[in-house]
Amino acid sequence: NAGVMQNPRHLVRRRGQEARLRCSPMKGHSHVYWYRQLPEEGLKFMVYLQKENIIDESGMPKERFSAEFPKEGPSILRIQQVVRGDSAAYFCASSPPAAREKLFFGSGTQLSVL
Amino acid sequence: GESVGLHLPTLSVQEGDNSIINCAYSNSASDYFIWYKQESGKGPQFIIDIRSNMDKRQGQRVTVLLNKTVKHLSLQIAATQPGDSAVYFCAENSGQGGSEKLVFGKGTKLTVNP
């Protein structure tokens, strides 16, 4: 049973470009979470999604950031017009329906903005 | 701001000793707590969880203690091994508003000396 899969593992973008981060949850998991981590810090909640539905986006910046979890395919975290401050590790997690607060994390995408 | 924090940012122990990592939380409504282990360059790995109706839970070489009176959580690792070296995060879930998001502390870096 494969774990949470994230790609790409590393992503380099220049200021002003768009970044797309992908996440495939564990098999049988219907809930996806995105977190951001800066060096030497904890994980900051960004957004919580179910299929075709955003449950909680209280941690998402108001501009340039969006997330989706379509009926088919992976969850996407999209960052438009990236700035250097967006450089961070972005982690996706998923949880099973019977234990939605028990999160299993992927290996993350390290975003570097030049 | 963060409602979960840690008493010590770093902890150094000798191989074979027991380790105790502490965590304080401020949200008395939190009813679920998790400990994660994060190795360098990897995503957080689930260690053990506990619900607020319990004060102790044991796993393999690990024990989590919950003191709701003083809002304190601890992780005990028995016979610490070099492979236990990592950053350890506690996280809480209050389940407010139907969101299952976890709030993370900043982490404690555990170093095991051979």
- Contact across the interface for A106 and B43, Cβ inside 8 Å: yes
How many angstroms away from the CA of A15 is the closest CA of chain B?
24
Residue range A7-64, pLDDT digits in tens? 999 999 999 999 999 999 999 898 999 999 988 788 999 999 999 999 999 999 999 9
- Contact across the interface for B42 and A106, Cβ inside 8 Å: no
Q: What is the mean pLDDT of chain B?
A: 88
Taking residues B36-61, report their average pLDDT: 94
- The residues facing B74 across adjacent strands are B22, B65
How many Cβ atoms from other residues are within 10 Å of residue B13's Cβ?
17
pLDDT at B96 over 90: no
> Which is it for strands A10-13 and A109-113: parallel, antiparallel or unpaired?
parallel
- Smallest CA-to-CA distance from A100 within A33, A36, A34 is with A33
- Contact across the interface for A103 and B46, Cβ inside 8 Å: yes
Q: Interior CA angle at A43 toward B99 and A13, to 5°? A: 110
pLDDT at B3 over 50: no
- Output the pLDDT for position B99: 66
- Output the pLDDT for position B94: 74
Q: Could you tell me which chain A residue has the CA closest to the CA of B30?
A: A101
Q: Which helix (H) or strand (E) holds A33?
A: strand A31-37
Does the beta carbon of B69 lie under 8 angstroms from any beta carbon of chain A?
A: no
Residue range B16-44, pLDDT digits in tens? 999 999 999 878 888 899 999 999 889 99
Residue B14 pLDDT level (bands cut at 50, 70, 90) = very high
Instruction: Tell me what percent of the residues of chain B surpass a pLDDT of 90.
Output: 69
- Contact across the interface for B103 and A45, Cβ inside 8 Å: yes
Q: How many A-B residue pairs are in contact by the CB < 8 A criterion?
A: 60
Does the beta carbon of B97 lie under 8 angstroms from any beta carbon of chain A?
A: yes
- Can you point out the beta strands (E) in B1-114? 4-5, 10-14, 19-25, 32-38, 45-51, 56-58, 62-67, 72-77, 86-93, 103-104, 108-113
pLDDT at A68 over 90: yes
Residue A1 pLDDT level (bands cut at 50, 70, 90) = low
- Under 8 Å between Cβ of B47 and B57: no
pLDDT at B1 over 60: no
Residue B98 pLDDT level (bands cut at 50, 70, 90) = low
Taking residues A101-111, report their average pLDDT: 94
Cβ neighbours for B41, distance < 8 A, ≥ 6 positions apart = none
Does the beta carbon of B106 lie under 8 angstroms from any beta carbon of chain A?
A: yes
